[in-house]
Amino acid sequence: MIQMVLVLVLALQGSINAGVAFSAGPENDERGWKLYTNARFGFSVRYPDDWRLGNPMQDGAGVTLSPPIEHSLVALSGHMNIVEGKSGDGRQTLDEFVSAHRRIMTELYSKKSITVKWGADQDLSLAGFPAKQLTFTYRDEKQGEIIEHHIMSLGRNEGRGVRVKVPLSAEARLMPAVMKLLKTYQPGRDQNAISPFLPKP
């Protein structure tokens, strides 16, 4: 479970309003934006041409984009849902995944002697799938006050994640582009497809 969540961490508003649905449509495509498609999980997204595309993540899980704002990043990732949980087919639910992610992030930053302050979780949808947004802030000695938004969806077979990291002072400049990017997001395939993993009896 820790490895799966760390993939999202490494993968991975104003404010993004609760209940907002991010789904793509022809009218939402930003003309002239570049297209990234993940070969392993099939998800795709359009991003501004002045954002730099980073190297692929380990095992082809995703990629990091670098907006032209110092100390900011947007990471896109996919992962398998193979951890045991309380869902109908015996695997992790979105709430369980979010709870584990919050705990792991808190522990990860705590090891660096950084205290994170969590905001309220928000329910939303990402490309038609139920999703949660976790938001937290912390102070970095070199970069100052940082805010991160982690948006994640989880089907019975696969999950998707978007991580946004930006200095708090630049959040209002970055988030309008992030919101447009999220509207172009396509999941690639059904995250609830029949799984090769059978539930425990």
Q: What would the pLDDT profile of 131-176 be if each residue is shown by its tens digit?
A: 999 999 999 888 899 999 999 999 888 999 999 999 999 999 999 9
CA distances from 3 to 10, 82, 83, 126, 151 (A): 10, 11, 10, 23, 18
Q: What is the three-class DSSP state of 100?
A: helix
What is the pLDDT at residue 194?
60
Assess contact for 101 and 25: CB atoms under 8 A. no
More confident residue, 135 or 197: 135
CA–CA gap between residue 10 and residue 115 (Å, rounded): 19
Q: Does 21 have pLDDT greater than 50? A: no
Domain span at 39 = 2-183
User: Would 189 be classed as within a structural domain?
Assistant: no
User: Would 188 be classed as within a structural domain?
Assistant: no
Find the CATH number of the domain harbouring 39. 3.40.1000.10
Q: What would the pLDDT profile of 83-105 be if each residue is shown by its tens digit?
A: 888 887 788 999 999 999 999 99
CA–CA gap between residue 136 and residue 148 (Å, rounded): 6
User: Would 192 be classed as within a structural domain?
Assistant: no
User: Would 10 be classed as within a structural domain?
Assistant: yes
Q: How many domains is the chain built from?
A: 1
